[in-house]
Structure 1
Amino acid sequence: MTTTEHHLDVAPVIEATSQLLLDHYVFPDVAERLAALLRRHLADGTYDVADAADLARLVTADLQSLNGDLHLRLKHHAGPVPAKQGAATLARMREKFDRSLGGAPRVELLDGRVALLELAPALFPLSWSAEPLGAALTLAAPADALILDLRGNTGGDPDTVAFVCGHLLDERTHLNSMYWRDGDRLEQSWSPAHVPGVRFGGSKPLYVLTSAQTFSAAEELSYDLQQLGRAVVVGEATSGGAHPCEGWTVHPHLEATIPMGRAVNPVSGTNWEGTGVRPDVPCAAEDALDRARALAEARLADAQSGEPHDATVNPTRSQPS
């Protein structure tokens, strides 16, 4: 524990985290088992550590031990965590936003009128990112094909997913639904009917690049477009996190993130939790751009010559759960 960190009183941290699980976790039966596990390990001395980072590591391993939910964590922060719910996550995202041109660090026109748009390191809250994302998507819109690079994107805001999809489709479309434990309710997510700037639209070739690090909302963007038959996903299977979460401060340097809902895709009837988004064209992440670029150029050449493009590059519409 660094000299700047507060004294670590383990018991209140474990009790607070256990109660948050019971109150909010999307799967109440799993929450009961996890809370019992945490309390048992507190009693048997498993968590007898002096360092908050060590406690976060031990508790996170236990939280993910039953169903592998990667959103379920006790996160350590080197700096003090704001007390307000969710504030720590927003503060960290804001730093990344300011260093990444608003989450669109690369827009480039490649040979053959194929545009490359990288969205990284996150899909930031729409109140911050609508202007830079809208500008980047508008800049790429005249291209004949688009490669959307999500290999370095670790998640963000579902509303931003819908905003991006709005530029890549021709009309308002049901993308996803979220089941929320609070109120036992299902909330639909639709792409917007109108977007700022110019749409790339719903008919030109679209390729999405993924890696094993692609996570959460970035997975939703990949999955939604794939299930709609709108995009060909190229690269690696993604991390597999489909449960939106909130963060609570349980110690000045520790934040418990608890998933409160789960995604339900209207096409597949399921989501990418645990399995990840499975690429239509599997390859190493470092090779994905070259593969997608070759596919795009071949498809455009076939279109120009009137030849049908290779059916093997058609996106799949559903994946087994």
Structure 2
Amino acid sequence: MQNATHVIEAALDRLLAEYVFEEKATEVAAVVRTRLAEGAYEGLAGPEFCAAVTADLQQPTGDKHLRLLWSEEPQEVDGEEDEDFFAELARSENQGIRRVERLAGDVGYIDTTLVPEPGEGGPMISAALSLVANTKALILDLRSNRGGSTYGMSYWCSHLFPGGESLHLTDVYRRTTGLTQQFWTLPYLPGERYLDRPVYVLTGPVTFSGAEDLAYNLKVRGRATLVGETTRGGAHPTGYYPLSEHISVTVPYARSINAVTGGDWEGVGVVPDLAVPADQAFDVAYQDALERLAAGPAA
């Protein structure tokens, strides 16, 4: 239990120092310490321990980004954010590009699993879009996308909005610095943009974080039709901090402020334009695209 106590206190130290809502951090810490004193985590180990602590971390806030994570593979522990974790994950998942296809009826389809950093992931995103560059409509599948980089979200959006002048997408306010960072589309891209054609975005209960950011921006700007189920509801940029060889804590250190709405999707998710079960979203979007194309340019 001594090791569990050490891990929990290390997690709470990080939470109290960085969590985006300072007053909530104090409340969360009190809940978890009370549960620890009650013996709630005794006899638990590995993933079960992490799941139990995560439930108590999230109970006062509903913040799904606030978690203890178990890793089967040993990891280095240095007290700093592990920036290599996501980079390695993105490489293992082909920078989030799982499938690219040109469907019958001249409709492009891109299936994704995460939103990568543009440094490594940008060429893959541009390559995927180049394969569907000459289609007449596009379906972007985010149903299995667990999120990722705000920079990557901006890179995706840059391909779907005109160049020349940048478009202000969102701001990110960071508690620890008190600074707000702006995110804009890029005026120049190495590949073609996908413009003046219908775009459909498929969403579901797995769609999370950076993927929600992408869907949200495309929706509020009227650039895409969202089809599927409401997304999971995590809007806070998050750091990943190893606490032991097998346990890490993720702490939301910032919040998103959309340039159009002034708000975000935290706790409520992104609501689709066409609400259907997630497993039916592709069929509905594809049929709608075919009917829209058959009706002509004015549709």
In structure 1, what is the Cα distance between the partners aligned to 2:44 and 2:56? 18
Please tell me whether residue 237 in structure 1 is matched to residue 239 in structure 2. Answer: no
Choose from 129, 137, 141 the match for 1:149.
Answer: 141
Distance 2:277 2:262 in 1: 28
Distance 2:46 2:142 in 1: 32
Specify the alignment match of 1:13 in structure 2.
Answer: 7
Distance apart, 1:178 and its partner CA: 0.8
Match of 1:108, as an amino acid? E
Q: Compared with structure 1, are the counterparts of its residues 65 and 161 closer, same or farther at alpha carbon in structure 2 (3 Å cutoff)?
A: same
- Paired amino acid for 1:198: E
SS at match of 1:9: helix
Counterpart position of 2:247: 254
Normalised to the residue count of structure 2, the TM-score between the two structures is 0.94
Shift of 1:92: 6.0
> Cα deviation per residue 1:279-313 (whole Å; 9 max; x = unaligned)?
00010111111111111112222225xxx43xxxx
Does the CA contact (< 8 Å) of 1:68 and 1:274 recur in 2? yes
3-state SS of paired residue (2:5) = helix
Deviant stretches of 4+, over 4 Å: none
Partner of 1:86: 81
1:57-97 Cα distance to aligned partner (Å, 9 max, x none) = 1110001101210000011111212224333x743652453
Contact 1:234–1:280 under 8 Å retained in 2: yes
Equivalent residue runs for 1:175-254 within 5 Å: 175-201=169-195, 203-254=196-247
Counterparts of 1:129-168 in structure 2 under 5 Å? 129-168=121-160
Aligned residue pairs: how many?
Answer: 296
Flag the 1:163–1:169 CA change in 2: closer, same or farther, 3 A.
Answer: same
CA distance in 2, matches of 1:145, 1:212: 24
SS in 2 for 1:263: strand
TM-score (norm 1): 0.88
Q: Secondary structure at the match of 2:41?
A: coil
Query: In the alignment, which residue of structure 1 is the partner of 2:119?
Result: 127
Aligned to 2:65: 71
**Is 1:61 matched with 2:52?**
no
Which residue does the alignment assign to 1:28? 22
Q: Please give the per-residue CA displacement for 1:157-207, whole angstroms capped at 9, x wherever unaligned.
A: 111111111110003211111111022222111111111111112x21111
Secondary structure, aligned partner of 1:252: coil
3-state SS in 1 of match to 2:294: helix
Tell me the distance in 1 between the aligned counterparts of 2:265 and 2:293: 31
| Bigger mean CA offset, 189-198 vs 124-133 | 124-133
Letter in 2 for 1:258: V
Alpha-carbon offset, residue 247 of structure 1: 1.4
Pair 1:301-2:294 in alignment: yes
The corresponding residue for 1:287 is 280
User: Which shows bigger deviation, 110-119 or 257-266?
Assistant: 110-119
C-alpha RMSD of the superposition? 1.7
Moved more, 89-98 or 25-34: 89-98
CA contact (8 A) 2:95 2:114 kept: no
Deviations 1:87-117 (A, max 9, x none): 3x7436524533x433222111112211111
Whole-Å Cα distance in 2 between the matches of residues 284 and 93 of structure 1? 32
Map 1:261-272; keep pairs closer than 5 Å. 261-272=254-265
SS at match of 2:47: helix
**In structure 2, what is the Cα distance between the partners aligned to 1:212 and 1:141?**
29
Aligned to 1:3: none
Indicate the SS of the match to 2:218: helix
Contact 1:81 1:255 in 2 (8 A): no
Please give the alpha-carbon distance, in whole angstroms, between the structure 1 residues aligned to 2:210 and 2:263. Answer: 15
**1:156 touches 1:217 (CA, 8 Å); kept in 2?**
yes
In the alignment, is the contact (CA less than 8 A) between 2:90 and 2:116 conserved in 1? no
